[in-house]
Chains A and B, each alone.
Chain A
């Protein structure tokens, strides 16, 4: 069955430079720098990436950062809490816009 997403394509991420090398090189250099141990630990960054992967609903990123967080020593509870952070922000982002709806309702109501 043909699908838009193929799990094997994740392995080819590094080959995007085939069509535009200088930009790909700059991107991967930046990417590597971002995930290095810094003010945040590599483990904390991996959990953030896992949460963001769910927020942007990227199947490749979810696969990659599920493995990465496990390889950083995180357990299922910590990983699911990270996803709940993403869900809370996404849900909150919708709900906080309800203030606009409420304002409009009040504006046009007697």
Chain B
């Protein structure tokens, strides 16, 4: 499978993607729903989380990837941009640094960056969104669990299901088996045990055009199946809704599920989830240092609506807190049912 970019697919052109996403759903725009909930214009509450995209390079090519990541993507965060991020971490109210990609570990400065964050603060929460298979992809990554442990990183990893068929159909042949091996390595390093401070959280997202299951019930099922089948332990399961952008949007359109899926998201709109959307306390940093309301807006190249603070080098906390969050129809994905965020359900 190739990225949309490598295929030169029409949806790899942001203007076209935005045009598709601009269409009202049954005559309704996302902003209309927020108005009904007295949440429009949507404003931040504070900025607690800095989510940093270390690059679009990844060892996997997942069918639903909103980043359109793959091994041949060249966009990688430079050390200069990382230094600008460090400056913000040092001088702002950031409580959590959330590292994502692609596979963030493939950035050659990944370990240096984490060591520098730890020099600034021993207490700041650092999350790495590890795809698991990277740990086995090359001998130079085999010691990652130990590196995570040493720097007390929280590991958040996608595992769409507790069976190989469903996992491999979404993330590629052999991914389930490798993920299980990587999870065992993380457990061996002390991650995922019930009382351990080394948190290992898994992410479930539906393998198609339907909404995720109720989070706590599915977490129990995952725990039972992974423990009984593979002796694997983890802390929490985050259920995430697939947002209709990039490769998942391409799937929806190709399979003629787009209209029904958008209607489903609209029908499931939950004002409680809307009040708790992650963009209200998060800033997303692109590989090139530009700032966005969330990782999805980043992929749609919708920079924050704060003209004096659109790049990490010009960070202006006041301007960012006072900005209006940019909304499109894909936002319905975060407000459907129990809500969806990088930390799972929100309502």
Residues of B within 8 A of A41 (CB): 217
Q: Tell me the bound Cα distance from A75 to B164 in angstroms.
A: 11
Whether A81 is near chain B, meaning CB under 8 Å from some CB there, is no
User: Known: A41-B217, A42-B217, A43-B217. Contact between A71 and B161, CB under 8 A?
Assistant: no
Q: Which residue of A lies closest to B215 (CB)?
A: A73
Residues of A within 8 A of B217 (CB): 41-43, 72-73
Residues of A within 8 A of B206 (CB): 70-71
Whether B172 is near chain A, meaning CB under 8 Å from some CB there, is no
**A73 lies within 8 A of B221 (CB):** yes
Q: Min CB distance, A73 to chain B, in Å?
A: 3
Q: Tell me the bound Cα distance from A72 to B221 in angstroms.
A: 11
Whether A67 is near chain B, meaning CB under 8 Å from some CB there, is yes
Q: Min CB distance, A53 to chain B, in Å?
A: 17
**B210 lies within 8 A of A70 (CB):** yes
Q: Which residue of A lies closest to B264 (CB)?
A: A67
Q: Tell me the bound Cα distance from A95 to B163 in angstroms.
A: 36
Whether B291 is near chain A, meaning CB under 8 Å from some CB there, is no
**A72 lies within 8 A of B161 (CB):** no
User: Known: A42-B217, A43-B217. Contact between A71 and B166, CB under 8 A?
Assistant: no
For the residues of B in contact with A, the DSSP-based class is loop
User: Known: A41-B217, A42-B217, A43-B217. Contact between A71 and B163, CB under 8 A?
Assistant: no
Q: Tell me the bound Cα distance from A76 to B221 in angstroms.
A: 15
Residues of B within 8 A of A67 (CB): 210
Q: Tell me the bound Cα distance from A89 to B243 in angstroms.
A: 40
**A72 lies within 8 A of B210 (CB):** no
**A73 lies within 8 A of B213 (CB):** yes
Q: Tell me the bound Cα distance from A75 to B213 in angstroms.
A: 11
Contact with B along A48-87 (1 / 0, CB 8 A): 0000000000000000000100111101110000000000
Q: Tell me the bound Cα distance from A42 to B217 in angstroms.
A: 9
Q: Tell me the bound Cα distance from A75 to B168 in angstroms.
A: 14
Contact with B along A24-45 (1 / 0, CB 8 A): 0000000000000000011100
Q: Which residue of A lies closest to B263 (CB)?
A: A11
Q: Tell me the bound Cα distance from A73 to B220 in angstroms.
A: 11
Contact with A along B193-223 (1 / 0, CB 8 A): 0000000000010101011111001100100
**A70 lies within 8 A of B208 (CB):** yes
**A71 lies within 8 A of B218 (CB):** no
Q: Which residue of B lies closest to A70 (CB)?
A: B210
Q: Tell me the bound Cα distance from A43 to B210 in angstroms.
A: 15
**A43 lies within 8 A of B213 (CB):** yes
Q: Tell me the bound Cα distance from A70 to B218 in angstroms.
A: 11
**B221 lies within 8 A of A71 (CB):** no
Residues of A within 8 A of B204 (CB): 73
Residues of B within 8 A of A42 (CB): 214, 217
Q: Tell me the bound Cα distance from A103 to B217 in angstroms.
A: 49
Q: Chain A CB within 10 Å — which of B161, B166, B213 has the most?
A: B213
Residues of B within 8 A of A76 (CB): 165
**A73 lies within 8 A of B210 (CB):** no
Q: Min CB distance, B226 to chain A, in Å?
A: 14
In the A-B complex, the 7 residue pairs with the smallest Cβ-Cβ separation, listed nearest first, are A73-B213, A73-B218, A70-B210, A71-B211, A72-B213, A71-B210, A67-B210
A residues apposed to B, CB below 8 Å: 41-43, 67, 70-73, 75-77
Interface CB pairs A-B, < 8 A, 18: A43-B217, A67-B210, A70-B208, A70-B210, A71-B206, A71-B211, A71-B212, A71-B213, A72-B214, A72-B217, A73-B204, A73-B212, A73-B214, A73-B218, A75-B161, A75-B163, A75-B166, A76-B165
Q: Given A43-B221, A73-B218, list of 15 further CB < 8 A pairs?
A: A42-B214, A43-B213, A70-B210, A71-B210, A71-B212, A71-B213, A72-B214, A72-B217, A73-B212, A73-B213, A75-B161, A75-B165, A75-B166, A76-B165, A77-B163
